[in-house]
Amino acid sequence: MITILCVEDEDDIRGLLIEEIRDSGFNTLEAANGRQALDIIISKWPDIVVCDITMPELDGHQLFAEIQMHHEELSNIRFIFLTALSDKENMITALKAGAADYLTKPVDFDLLMAKIQGCVSRLESDRRTGRGF
């Protein structure tokens, strides 16, 4: 089963994300900041990470860069950034770095679930063909 890590420092938003994703049939993990998320990613290897950018201790961009630079074995994990930062520069930075997608708050759950399903489809295709795993 697909496991999705939700990284969000606002408890209410994180709770809503977890509920919506679980209701859609996915396993979930959660972290309140990038440092916690890094520990979870290294130990649990989630398939997808839905991640805020502006967080204490380690922001979303720093978390993603840490995975890409220092944990190559985890670089196939799909990152979807979900953030209040709606400026084009942040979006371009995330996508150029290799993020699967970038969504802005307030959360459109239908759009988020469509983006997650797109990641799931690509993961399943990669697993069938043996790419990246």
Per-residue pLDDT of 69-95, as tens digits, reads 999 899 889 999 999 989 999 899 899
The DSSP secondary structure of 46-62, one letter per residue, reads: -SEEEE-SS-SSS-HHH
Provide the CA 99 distance to its chain's centre, in angstroms.
8
CA distances from 24 to 52, 92, 114, 117 (A): 20, 29, 11, 10
CATH architecture group of domain 3-127: 3-Layer(aba) Sandwich (3.40)
Per-residue pLDDT of 119-130, as tens digits, reads 999 888 877 777
Ranges of H-type helices in 1-133: 11-23, 34-44, 60-70, 88-97, 109-129
Domain coordinates of the chain in residue numbers?
A: 3-127
Tell me the pLDDT of the chain averaged across its residues. Answer: 93
Structure tokens given for 70: 């220092």
